[in-house]
Structure 1
Amino acid sequence: MTFLTRREQFNAAHRMYRQDLTEEENFRLFGKCANPNYHGHNYDLFVTVKGEVDHERPCIMDLKELKVIINDHVIEKLDHRNLNLDVDFMAGKMASTELLCIEIFKQLKGPIEAYAGVCLHSVRLAETENNSTECFG
């Protein structure tokens, strides 16, 4: 089994908060991430696919096609958007990096696996250079 990873980037704003809590309780729980005016990140997205390669099929998949899938199903929906307000697949969900990573995996699984012989292995989302999360589905 061979693995191939594509990196993409996007910028997005979000706010961590629970509507059932007061502003003070949200701030105690989420710190400055509970800012009512939101805050943003420059995210790095790593999408890893897996498949078999041999002389007949020397590549897992065309990287240009992988880029198109990622851009059409994820980047276009997230880049320069508010995760809490603008993104259909995040509606009603906490805009944490972990939940966003899971939802990105769900968005990509079908389109990537429609490509013959390719499986989506993982999605890793880095919120900062020090913090990232990874989903294996």
Structure 2
Amino acid sequence: MYQRKRRRPVSDINVVPYIDVMLVLLIIFMVTAPLITAGVNVDLPKAKANPLAEDSKPPVIVSVTKDYEYFVTDGNQKEGPISPQELAVIVGAHIEVEPERPVMVEGDRTVDYDAVVSLMVLLQAQGVGSVGLMTDPVEE
């Protein structure tokens, strides 16, 4: 009579599909990472200033570019270019929801002082209590 040979079970794990998935995810993250950190290109003035406290909420950033375009950045969500009145309404809505949230103005160094002050007046009219001005640190 013919006897069957017993096969031993294979105890190796095939990891090739996992490596393929990891390589695809790596490529996806490499492509999307620069898109997430993209912001508004503003040449900030240099000044010595204290940074925001680490335990404070992330600020709503209002930007004025050298071409007098206005943007609102809330975390990773960027809106713009929009009119100053639309910008003030959007920021006012953010402040209504979270009154303790800081608002920072990021004005290009070549923009007239009048444009930044006008923007701050619009924000104040929408109920923003205090506005911070963003700067680049001075290199010593």
Using structure 2 for the length normalisation, give the TM-score: 0.24
Larger radius of gyration: 2
Task: Name the one with the larger strand percent.
Answer: 1
Higher RCO (CA 8 Å, separation ≥ 6 residues): 1
